Structure 1
Amino acid sequence: MAGQKMLKFVNVERDMPEKRAPNLRNTDFQEIYAEYATAKAEEQASRCSQCGVPYCQSHCPLHNNIPDWLRLTAEGRLREAYEISQATNTFPEICGRICPQDRLCEGNCVIEQSGHGTVTIGSVEKYITDTAFEEGWVAPIRPRVERTESVGIIGAGPGGLAAADMLRREGVQVTVYDRYDRGGGLLTYGIPGFKLEKDIVMKRMDQLTDGGVEFVLNCNVGEDISFDAIRGKHDAVLIATGVYKTRDMVAPGSDADGIANAIDYLTASNRKSFGDVVEEFESGELNAEGKRVVVIGGGDTAMDCVRTAIRQGATSVKCLYRRDKANMPGSQREVQNAEEEGVEFVWLSAPNGFEGEVVSGVQVQKMRLGAPDATGRQMPELIEGADYVEEADLVIKALGFTPEDLPALWGVEGLEVTRWGTVKAAFETGQTSLDGVFAAGDIVRGASLVVWAIRDGRDASAAILQYLSQATSVAAE
């Protein structure tokens, strides 16, 4: 019986896909995990307990039907598993690779809580969709009926692409505007290839283009085209720009040469992976080869930077973080991978300044953890007299991102923003203060996860469809 395929967690141990040895993987930008073989994917999926209240599903921002596609995978019904997986997730092959499952679905797995080790949900999700592409199960976008309404989407990141996909499937005419020369946003230029190989993203871009989505690239809104022009051209507009402005730090010497922002550093590296000519990389400005590298920050972007620097041939890579390992915001899995690859973490350390006109060192203050703040996290406190200098030839600031001032940047009046600079939009619908203008993703919620951007893009597309239908009904009266 089908049920006998499940509940194997008692006698089958958790087993991740094989991970390439650190001395092999830290010299290239290929993904570090191998693909499951069919038998192994079925075996690991069979460990699911099929619990009555699936916390994995409720803690997934997309509320993916995880127990259902795990059961189907265990039963060898892989095409059905894919159909259920993609019903709630526009890009399951991407989420399977880059979602912090240890903080979301896998971290809330019932059998993990009971001490049996979580089901490898992310790896199975990746396997399902990779197989679907190989077998030709990923159908092209072919709307049953074409609609006359058009939607302009500003931003070709995960939120904008998810909305474009959903709208196009309903026959809406979709144009996506983006400042970069390739679509994908941070999926393309922010996340390194060892976590997400770029052909995976380009495959989805090709699917959207083939499905009728028009992309206007190398297009800076406010310079190459006005926001008002986009609004006048389309029946509705979705703002999905993400947040790209680097959170800066004010410290003596912070304007020295050799201090780079994380997004600039990662973009240069990813452009090289496409074979582009990148002057800042060729000059050594954004190239870690032969350098002592210090990365400041403790999130996933910092992990991307330290692991990239290792692969570029840095002589040493250190990560400064003001709290300890247990309080680090980045994925613990990523921290472990970085440590295996040769990154040294300097815990309870905060920068206080920089040495040299061309940076030669970071002035470091040692910290200890004190009383908890309003969120419950212990606050770092300065240890007097414990300062020292950490030698460095390249310093990368990975302190997070903040929104750009879109009303000023685009010269648009009436677009309301919050006190944090994010676009003010209605919960769930994404409707902004401007009629027919919606917003989704990080530009609304602040810097967050790709999976949340996908969720927001899907929600916004549903609201836009409702808005277009209401506008059509009014026009017909």
Structure 2
Amino acid sequence: MAVEKMLKFVSVGRDMPQKRDAEARRHDFLEIYGDFAKPKAAEQASRCSQCGVPYCQSHCPVHHNIPDWLRLTAEGRLQEAYEIAQAANNFPEFTGRICPQDRLCEGNCVIEQSGHGTVTIGSVERYITDNAWEEGWVKPIRPSQERTESVGIIGAGPAGLACADTLRRAGVQVTVYDRYDRAGGLLTYGIPGFKLEKDVVMRRVDHLSDGGVEFVLNCAVGETLSFDAIRGRHDAVLIATGVYRSREIEAEGSEARGIVRAIDYLTASNKKQFGDEVAEFDSGELDAAGKRVVVIGGGDTAMDCVRTAIRQGAASVKCLYRRDRANMPGSQREVANAEEEGVEFVWLSAPEGFVGDTVEGVQVQRMRLGAPDSTGRRSPEPMGEVVLEGADLVVKALGFEPEALPTLWNTPGLDVTRWGTIRAEFGSGKTSLDGVFAAGDIVRGASLVVWAIRDGREAAAAILQYLSQTVSASSAVAAE
């Protein structure tokens, strides 16, 4: 009977949840996609071909058992579908919204390769998880047995939260330290509400807090509290700080007023959505209203910036990227959404300089594509033609690098790579310091939320093993 409900891709076309009209969504920070109704979710899930070798699952960083929860959704067994999804992914409500499915699960869907249009995996994942919250199927964290060991986690982003969730369910006492006034990291202050509404993040943070995870906020390690003090308080420590240092532009005039970092711009905007007072925004420094905005970069952060500027009422928004559309790293779905909302993309363009003490324009070098580089993308080469793009606000979205943690935290024994990321054992996150682990972007470099979740889960498993071995060793010594 289950088979009869599946393999409908030959008779049922691909369908996404209704997307709000571009003109309407330009004026608010609400998510742009509506929700599936139950029959539509079942219909779209039934298109799955139930592959013997599910490439969607193998290309998912957390190896979601996607075919099984699609089948359960098609059969109307939604609570079981959620439980299967939750088993591999602590936060399916996040990944269903912000994963670049077009590059991961959906991009490797077998029926997509045969010309039938991919299964809308992300939208079904979002539906079954939101439905689980509404139905009360997301149960409080109540460990069957409490443990005495405690773990300190530095960073309340997706890696830190995934580790905290996993450890707390095992009964470990968990404290999460974070520099910001709210938990969530980039989920809260980096990703705009039109991709991930903030009540979705706060709901999960509240769930963790109710389950016994302690949050110590407004805590800048190395300033408010030393790293050694945190190590002294806990049996093990996880470093999950992410990467927050922006890559800079080395060009004449790059220190002009009105040239800002993407992280500052997005954080200010997200804080305003919470109703906070933000001096830099209220003064106009980080507000795009009425301005000619130029965003430099071609990744997902750049897409977040251009779409934020549209919603703030910018006079115009342009995105400069040194390669062409086919060679950009950001999601093509996000580019299409940005274009619908009025963003102009200026391909094969790189900044060569800036005009004005308070920025008035960007000197743009026209580029062409040469031979492929180490990433497989064709390298941009200057053509020698420079034009001026007018600008009142320039946002640098060139990516992020790790902070120099051994220096900031006065911990020279913490080994880092030549890129400044923490050197950690693959699969466990063990660092050069005993009992100290690391996970997420601070290890792998700026990456996706779903990879951070996987890293956090793997670190939690390694920490549990470490705690058990430490307790066993202590017991053996005591017995002697």
CA distance in 2, matches of 1:212, 1:148: 13
- Letter in structure 2 aligned against 1:404: E
Deviations 1:150-207 (A, max 9, x none): 0000000000000000000000000000000000000000000000000000000000
Is residue 116 of structure 1 aligned with residue 130 of structure 2? Answer: no
Secondary structure of residue in 2 paired with 1:383? strand
Deviations 1:425-461 (A, max 9, x none): 0000000000000000000000000000000000000
Task: Kindly report structure 1 stretches of 4+ aligned residues shifted beyond 4 Å.
Answer: none
CA distance in 2, matches of 1:381, 1:2: 55
Q: 1:314 maps to which residue?
A: 314
Q: Percent identity?
A: 78
Q: 1:470 maps to which residue?
A: 469
- Letter in structure 1 aligned against 2:157: G
Deviations 1:213-236 (A, max 9, x none): 000000010111100000011000
Q: 2:445 maps to which residue?
A: 446
Q: 2:424 maps to which residue?
A: 425
Q: 1:45 maps to which residue?
A: 45
Secondary structure of residue in 1 paired with 2:104? coil
CA distance in 2, matches of 1:292, 1:413: 45
Q: TM-score, normalised by structure 2?
A: 0.99
Secondary structure of residue in 2 paired with 1:161? helix
Q: 1:91 maps to which residue?
A: 91
Secondary structure of residue in 1 paired with 2:395? strand
- Letter in structure 2 aligned against 1:349: S
- Letter in structure 2 aligned against 1:229: A
Secondary structure of residue in 2 paired with 1:57? helix
- Letter in structure 2 aligned against 1:328: M
Q: 1:458 maps to which residue?
A: 457
1:377 positional shift: 1.2
Map residues 171-320 of structure 1 onto 2, 5 A cutoff: 171-320=171-320
Is residue 64 of structure 1 aligned with residue 84 of structure 2? Answer: no
Deviations 1:40-91 (A, max 9, x none): 0000000000010000000000000000000000000000000000000000
CA distance in 1, matches of 2:24, 2:249: 36
Q: 2:399 maps to which residue?
A: 400
1:351 positional shift: 0.3
Map residues 16-27 of structure 1 onto 2, 5 A cutoff: 16-27=16-27
CA distance in 2, matches of 1:214, 1:371: 51
Unaligned segments of structure 1, at least 5 residues: none
CA distance in 2, matches of 1:290, 1:8: 49
- Letter in structure 2 aligned against 1:189: Y
CA distance in 1, matches of 2:373, 2:343: 29
CA distance in 2, matches of 1:262, 1:380: 23
CA distance in 2, matches of 1:373, 1:280: 39
CA distance in 1, matches of 2:371, 2:273: 45
- Letter in structure 2 aligned against 1:212: G
Secondary structure of residue in 1 paired with 2:17? coil
CA distance in 1, matches of 2:374, 2:216: 44
1:413 positional shift: 2.5
- Letter in structure 1 aligned against 2:138: V
CA distance in 1, matches of 2:127, 2:26: 23
Deviations 1:338-390 (A, max 9, x none): 00000000000000010000000000000011111223211111112x21100
CA distance in 2, matches of 1:205, 1:44: 30
Q: 2:436 maps to which residue?
A: 437
Secondary structure of residue in 2 paired with 1:17? coil
CA distance in 1, matches of 2:231, 2:126: 37
Deviations 1:298-340 (A, max 9, x none): 0000000000000000010000000000011000000000000
CA distance in 2, matches of 1:150, 1:381: 53
Considering only aligned residues, what root-mean-square deviation do their CA atoms show, in Å?
0.4
Map residues 130-169 of structure 1 onto 2, 5 A cutoff: 130-169=130-169
Q: 1:391 maps to which residue?
A: 390
CA distance in 1, matches of 2:437, 2:374: 32
Is residue 415 of structure 1 aligned with residue 450 of structure 2? Answer: no
CA distance in 2, matches of 1:310, 1:419: 38
Q: 1:359 maps to which residue?
A: 359
CA distance in 2, matches of 1:424, 1:368: 37
CA distance in 2, matches of 1:210, 1:375: 44
CA distance in 2, matches of 1:250, 1:388: 18
CA distance in 2, matches of 1:292, 1:475: 64
Is residue 334 of structure 1 aligned with residue 334 of structure 2? Answer: yes
Secondary structure of residue in 2 paired with 1:387? strand
CA distance in 1, matches of 2:179, 2:2: 50
Secondary structure of residue in 2 paired with 1:133? helix
Q: TM-score, normalised by structure 1?
A: 0.99
- Letter in structure 1 aligned against 2:127: Y
CA distance in 1, matches of 2:159, 2:296: 28
CA distance in 2, matches of 1:475, 1:375: 48
